[in-house]
């Protein structure tokens, strides 16, 4: 973390050297690692149903001001020249794990079992994507009929 603090000090000091963008990227990488550790620690303290309930409650709070990702489908390109389709979703309200991340694939190459840390990381990644896309929604996207 001392490296992160050093990078923040330089960036906040307004030093516009040629290394400014490089240091910002370096800091973002360090903070991503810290976030992964935080997800793992948080997941170790909570049961899967409590993790799911917390992320579901957070999603409901966010709906007042932004869109919320209910799922996503993506294609993973593998180094062997193949690709697999992965669908991320959520357990529905009838499930004891309401809001828990579900993973389905068209390939046996992917183990779809996820941990609490995986759930938190996937939710965080979907939140980031949703924030970017929400900024591009038309104003009437939040109007009710």
* Structure-block tokens of residue 16: 């516009």
Model pLDDT for residues 70-82, shown as the tens digit of each residue: 889 999 999 999 9
pTM here is 0.72
Higher pLDDT, 95 or 61: 95
Percent with pLDDT over 90 in the chain: 29
| Spacing of C-alpha 100 from chain mean position | 13
The CA distance from 94 to 2, in Å, is: 46
27 pLDDT exceeds 90? no
Mean pLDDT, the chain, whole residue set: 81
Which pLDDT band holds residue 12 (cuts at 50, 70, 90)?
low
- The average pLDDT across 108-120 equals 92
Range in 20-34, 72-86, 90-104, 122-136 with the lowest mean pLDDT: 20-34
37 pLDDT exceeds 90? no
pLDDT at 111: 95
pLDDT at 73: 97
64 pLDDT exceeds 90? no
11 pLDDT exceeds 90? no
């Amino acid at each position: 973390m001392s490296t992160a603090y050093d990078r923040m000090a330089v960036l906040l000091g307004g030093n516009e050297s040629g290394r400014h963008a490089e240091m910002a990227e370096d800091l973002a990488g360090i903070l991503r690692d810290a976030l992964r550790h935080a997800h793992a620690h948080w997941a170790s303290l909570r049961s899967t149903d409590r993790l799911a309930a917390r992320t579901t409650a957070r999603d409901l709070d966010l709906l007042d001001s932004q869109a919320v990702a209910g799922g996503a489908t993506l294609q993973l390109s593998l180094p062997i020249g193949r690709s697999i389709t992965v669908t991320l979703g959520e357990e529905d309200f009838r499930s004891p794990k309401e809001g828990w991340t579900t993973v389905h694939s068209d390939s046996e190459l992917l183990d779809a079992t996820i941990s609490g840390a995986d759930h938190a990381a996937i939710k965080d990644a979907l939140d980031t994507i949703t924030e970017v896309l929400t900024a591009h929604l038309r104003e009437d996207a939040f109007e009710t009929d």
